[in-house]
Chains A and B, each alone.
Chain A
Amino acid sequence: MNSLNDFFENLDPETLDGHGPVAMKDLVEEDNKNVVGTYCVFTPYEVIRAADAIPVTLCSTSDATIEDGEEDLPRNLCPLIKSSYGFAITDKCPYFHFADIIVGETTCDGKKKMYEYLDDVTPVHVMNLPQSNDRDIDFEIWKDEVVLLKEKLEAKYDTEITKERLKEEIENKNKERQAIKNFYELGKLNPSPLYGTEIFKVINITNYTFDKEIAIDRINEISEEVLERYNNGDKRISEDAPRILITGCPMGQATEKVIKAIEDNGGSVVCLESCTGLKPNDQLVNEDIDPIEAITEKYLNTPCSCMSPNDNRVELLNRLVEEYQVDGVVDMILQACHTYNVESHRIKEELKEASNTPYINIETDYSQSDVGQLETRLTAFLEML
């Protein structure tokens, strides 16, 4: 193995310790672990871990089950919701298969109503998420929801979630967040040592490695490896490549076409802001205050477009544009995602005002039929920078 290219090509998720469906099966069948399915990054991860259960994200990113999903759901709905539901009813997702309960939040109308149907397949506990985060009452409502989840899990698994356990899990998760952060912040180097597809791959591997000690050690090793090779002169990306930040809806599998269209046409994706990238890891949970309050604060402040107003996202983007020396922002919006779609106009204007950073929004779904159109738009955007 002599180059970073080889290093990442040989990083095969299927063969990694503690990673993927097989690791999950072992946890369930051999270690008798309980599994809690989650969708959004609003789900308080530490509460589930403190109940000795394994949280796993079920957001689907492939179009394989969209048609199945459309049997019960309308066509004109976000592909993530249709795909996730499709995987659930066809039992094609191993993670969904092992989940005893699902925790969902009322982040959007589509998901909220989909959970009603999903409950017939696997019980769903819905957390009522406030639609803003800047009033005292929002904090109180969300804190109550965190407590309700805690009580629900305690009853379901006949256990007690103590303050000590919560504190322990907050520290553990912070360690993982910090390790992921240390990795993706390598993208701040100029030129970046990483392709966007690699940033995405490594974060994904970490998320689906359920033994977190293994996950943290592995990502730390990857970061060291990358930095060492980079410092030894293994620079694959041109200094002239426009540096792109991708924001917007969750990405993955089918929508990696957006990252590819940018990188195949001369751009360098240095930062993935969305909830499948940086968003959940940017802020840690405060370890010095009451754990429930600390958890409430961290999750309520997630800069998602479901919040109104969503000033946190604007602040985050402006900060990232500066820190990552971003030349252009690409907002990837899934079809029928009203909140991100509506917010697009504000993001464009705010970026223009703060730093005059060029912005483009791309509306897409999980099919590959628009790859040509995406390439034209994104290449033209890169030519413009």
Chain B
Amino acid sequence: MYYIGIDIGSTGAKGVLYKDDIICREIMPTGWKPKETGRNLYYKLLNDSNISEKDIENVVVTGYGRVAVDFADKVVTEITCHAKGGYYLNNSVRTIIDIGGQDSKVISLDSNGQVKDFIMNDKCAAGTGKFLEVTINSLGASLDEIDEITEGVEPVKINSMCTVFAESEIISLISAGKNKEEVAMGVINAIAEQGKNLLKKIKVKDIVLFTGGLAKSSVIKDTLSKKINENIITSRDSLYAGAIGAAVIASEL
């Protein structure tokens, strides 16, 4: 039998098909109808793996859209799923920092992978994917090129963590003659600073795993590592950590 984990985030919906190992992973934009997106993701996983619905034992859904989905055998919060998924990816992991589209969280695990403590960012999207997207776009750059354009660049100081204020601040910095690369690095630095503050509220323990949409950026990972003075690791499946955790939970139901 197979198990499915679905993580409907604010920006992207991730799905994982699982049977002893990860069989298939899918991602699509969450869009306006999380319920429909959840369905589509489910069928995409089945179609791409040539599996029929009757082969699925359990489905666990997580993420902000978890309550919208009507076919889940169980609904679990993203905190528990990220912990489960992170521990599955590497069972030496004791701290997880997840920076997603509109929220970020730090989770502390014990040696069995159980959640010991966690903290989430405030109501606003400061320091998350949305913040990066808006600020980078205001520089006329794209998210895919941030690692490239910021390599070896010294950051300018950006004081505003509010997305709206930061955008105005960036416009002023550009007008004052700062170049795009320095400002982009300033944005990265601000995000890492926010991540550090969250990490410091929970006692950081090695190994630290970076998950969520921003984990694919090596410059964010490296800047954050330097700030907390710990080695941060990522996985090629970092983006899927929540969905993987949900699938593993589904297999344990």
Contact = CB atoms under 8 A, between A and B. Distances in A.
A372 B123 CA distance: 11
A15 B177 CA distance: 71
A372 B79 CA distance: 14
Given A370-B123, A372-B64, A373-B123, A383 B117 contact: no
Interface stretch (A21-29, A70-78, A374-382): A374-382
**Majority-rule SS of B interface residues:** mixed
A383 B76 contact: yes
A384 B80 contact: yes
B77 interface: yes
B143 interface: no
B77 A380 contact: yes
Interface string A342-385: 00000000000000001000010000001011001101100110
Contact of A380 (B114, B115, B122, B123): B115
Interface residues of B, number: 14
A372 B78 CA distance: 13
Contacts, number: 31
Given A370-B123, A373-B123, A380 B64 contact: no
Contact of B79 (A358, A363, A376): A376
A371 to B, nearest CB: 11
A383 B80 contact: yes
A373 B121 CA distance: 10
Given A370-B123, A376-B64, A384 B118 contact: yes
A74 to B, nearest CB: 18
Contacts of A379: 77
B70 to A, nearest CB: 17
Contact of B118 (A363, A372, A380): A380
B22 interface: no
Nearest to A359: B117
B171 interface: no
Contacts of A372: 64
A160 B122 CA distance: 53
A358 B202 CA distance: 13
A376 B117 contact: no
Nearest to A364: B123
Interface string B179-222: 00000000000000000000000000000000000000000000
A384 B115 contact: yes
Contacts of A376: 64, 77-79, 120
Contacts of B120: 373, 376-377
- Determine chain A's interface SS by DSSP, over half rule: helix
Nearest to A378: B77
Given A380-B80, A383-B76, A384-B80, A358 B117 contact: yes
A321 B123 CA distance: 30
A384 B82 CA distance: 12
Nearest to A382: B77
Nearest to A379: B77
Interface string A115-136: 0000000000000000000000
Interface string B41-82: 000000000000000000000001000000000001111100
Contacts of A380: 77-80, 115, 118
Nearest to B78: A376
B77 to A, nearest CB: 4
A294 to B, nearest CB: 43
Interface in B94-145: 114-118, 120, 122-123
Contacts of B123: 370, 373
A384 B77 CA distance: 10
Contacts of A370: 123
B64 A383 contact: no
Nearest to A352: B117
Contacts of A377: 120
A383 B78 contact: no
B128 to A, nearest CB: 13
A347 to B, nearest CB: 14
Nearest to A265: B77
Nearest to A361: B119
Interface in B235-250: none
Nearest to B79: A380
A370 B124 CA distance: 11
Nearest to B63: A376
A372 B66 CA distance: 11
Contacts of B116: 384
A31 B64 CA distance: 56
Nearest to A377: B120
Contacts of B114: 384
A373 B79 CA distance: 12
Contacts of A384: 79-80, 114-118
A358 B114 CA distance: 13
B9 to A, nearest CB: 12
Contacts of A383: 76-77, 79-80, 115
26 contacts: A358-B117, A370-B123, A372-B64, A373-B120, A376-B64, A376-B77, A376-B78, A376-B120, A377-B120, A379-B77, A380-B77, A380-B78, A380-B80, A380-B115, A380-B118, A383-B76, A383-B77, A383-B79, A383-B80, A383-B115, A384-B80, A384-B114, A384-B115, A384-B116, A384-B117, A384-B118
Interface of A: 358, 363, 370, 372-373, 376-377, 379-380, 383-384
Give 8 nearest A-B pairs by CB, closest first.
Answer: A380-B79, A380-B77, A384-B115, A383-B80, A379-B77, A376-B77, A383-B77, A377-B120
Given A380-B115, A383-B115, 5 more contacts: A380-B118, A383-B79, A384-B80, A384-B117, A384-B118
